[in-house]
Amino acid sequence: MTISSSLNAGVAGLTANATRLATISDNIANSSTFGYKRVQTDFESMVISSTGGNYSAGGVRANSHRQIDLAGSLVATSNATDLAVRGRGMLPVAKTTDLQVGNGETNMLLTTTGSFRTDADGYLTTESGLVLLGWPAQPDGTIPTFSRDTDEGLEPIQINVNQLTGEPTTRMTLGVNLPATETVAGSAGEAQELAVEYFGNLGTSESINVTFTPTVPATGASNEWTVTMTDSVDPTVTIGEYVLTFDDSRTAGGTLASVTTVSGGAYDPATGNLIVDVAGGPIEIDIGVVGQSDALTQLSDTFAPVSINKDGSPVGNMTSVEVDGNGYVHATFDTGVTRTIYQVPLVDLPNPNGMVALDGQTYQPSVDSGSYFMWDAGDGPTGDIVAFAREESSTDVASELTDMIQTQRAYSSNAKVIQTVDEMLQETTNIKR
């Protein structure tokens, strides 16, 4: 019985070291595979009898597991949509075959790196057939609130590179200085005109024509202006008229003191905004809060449009797409406008090594990995997303070759055990002679 157990132990040793050699071979073969996670083989002893008397060898058992939480080094590339995760977290992806089914459902997989490029339909995919998933942004570039513990809100990221796009103007800020000398008795009282461009719903360029008319008093200074606004689509119609009074005190000189609405949307003293209706719809205009010099002011003798800001953009073609460190996908147009079109979250799990390993350096959450949660990149325990980068294999070839030498010696030793047992059994057979 003891000799037979020795034979079984030797066979178990051969099997265990063959398994270890298989993992070493896989690691070395994938030493240049981006995103590959090395496989570690550990040995566990098998105990059949631990009491006194004759001892029976239990042998050994191999246990292999993939070190998914072991990150490789990052290397720079020249493709803006080559992505790698720096730190904890994984990128959500799906197989392109799921898209080809046409039922709109995708099975979320996870990976730590990928070289994504647009395919014939504009989807960001890899050569191995993976499509990047993300949350779609609203037209204003904000990301709606999605559930973080399910992949139902994720969509395949599609870049319409040949599509013309534009955004209508909905907000603008008038940072203008009005000459205080024009509201003094005896001044010429010249009206100051300003045309502020805005973009219509069809991408056309229009303008709001603003006329500032000073009130000239008989004596002293009125510090008062009447603002009249018209739309270039129909200049005969006044879309807003307001009476502005400015402060001339030592502490708040030059700032708005009061705003009286004559026509158009009412002035909101809390925000400093008023709303006027142009041909394409309402536009919110910020003229400043009373007592603050953040927009309209009245100082000195110079009419100066200091800061005119507005949202919206003319029609333009998409020229490039980039992903920032927080996972926001930005599209840049030839008009100089940049829009946020998607957000790529980072998926984190309590036990990444418990996931099921699949082809193409992808992994699937399982019961052993625990429930996942989707974080904004750079938030919580997750790291950030690095563009123009790939993650190298976590295999250390020198270490694997050293392990191979040890495995070869161990395998030879176990083979020697079997050979020795065979010789001993032969001697036992020879006793009958």
The sign of the CA dihedral 361, 362, 367, 369 is positive
Is the distance from CB of 341 to CB of 333 less than 8 angstroms?
no
Distance CA 69, CA 64 (A): 15
The whole-angstrom separation of Cα 69 and Cα 90 is: 10
In the prediction, which pLDDT does 55 show? 74
Q: Give CA separation, 209 vs 139, 172, 183, 203, 227, in Å.
A: 27, 13, 21, 19, 10
Domain ranges within the chain, ordered by starting residue: 2-67+394-430, 74-163+340-391, 167-315
- Residues in Cβ contact with 143 at an 8 Å cutoff, skipping those fewer than 6 apart: 135, 137, 328, 340, 343
**CA angle, 64 then 373 then 347, to 5°:** 60
Checking DSSP bridges between strand 234-246 and strand 256-263, what pairing results, if any?
Answer: antiparallel
Provide the 10 A C-beta neighbour count for residue 204.
15
Q: Are the CB atoms for 198 and 310 separated by under 8 Å?
A: yes
The gap from C-alpha 415 to its chain's centroid, in whole angstroms, comes to: 54
What's the confidence (pLDDT) of residue 165?
75
Question: Residue 103 has what pLDDT?
Answer: 59
325-379 tens-digit pLDDT: 999 999 988 887 888 999 999 999 999 999 999 999 999 999 999 999 999 999 9
CATH superfamily label, 167-315: Flagellar hook protein FlgE (2.60.98.20)
- What are 258's two structure tokens? 């009061």
Q: What gap in Å lies between CA 427 and CA 321, rounded to an integer? A: 77
406 — alpha (psi -120 to 50), left (phi > 0) or beta? alpha
Instruction: Copy the structure tokens of residue 407.
Output: 């495995």
- In tens digits, what is the pLDDT along the chain, a chain of 433 residues? 577 778 888 888 899 999 999 999 999 999 999 999 999 998 888 887 656 667 777 788 888 899 999 999 999 999 999 999 999 999 999 998 887 776 556 789 999 999 999 998 889 999 999 999 999 998 878 999 999 999 888 999 998 876 677 789 999 999 999 999 999 999 999 999 999 999 998 888 999 999 999 999 999 999 999 999 999 999 999 999 999 999 999 999 999 999 999 999 999 999 999 999 999 899 999 999 999 999 999 999 999 999 999 988 888 888 889 999 999 999 988 887 888 999 999 999 999 999 999 999 999 999 999 999 999 999 989 999 999 999 999 999 999 999 999 999 999 998 988 888 888 888 788 886 6
